[in-house]
Structure 1
Amino acid sequence: MALPHTLVVLEDGSDAGAVLLDTASAVGSVLWVDSHALEKVGREELGRSEHDVYLEFSDWVAYCVEEAQDAL
């Protein structure tokens, strides 16, 4: 799959999709992309319902911490 070079895969959730860090973003925005829509990333054709955006890397980390705490 041809992802833009500015995206780094933070997590591969297989059927749950992938979490991508945008290194071109000064604050490190993060995309959580549905698995069926990953090939659309490079073509910039993602629909609103096919991904979530965390505007800053710290927002995504806070989400992960909250999810881990809820799982306890």
Structure 2
Amino acid sequence: MNVIRIIVEERKDGFSAYIDKMEDIYAIATTMTELKSTISNAIRLFKEKNTEEALPEILKGQYRLVYV
């Protein structure tokens, strides 16, 4: 199982997050709960919009998200 590191940064108006070493998926939210949901949806949409061949290796198969 792949581990996807989600980098979380606190902002004055909430939080932002992105996948470590990947620029295409990011999210912003006012709470951590909302941020986790938003980044999960962003990953899902990214996977839906790309072919299996176009996906980064880390998004293929099973994975778990780790927030740092």
Shorter-chain TM-score bucket reads 0.3 to 0.5
Q: What TM-score does the superposition give when structure 2 sets the normalisation length?
A: 0.32
Q: Which has the higher strand share?
A: 2
Q: What TM-score does the superposition give when structure 1 sets the normalisation length?
A: 0.31
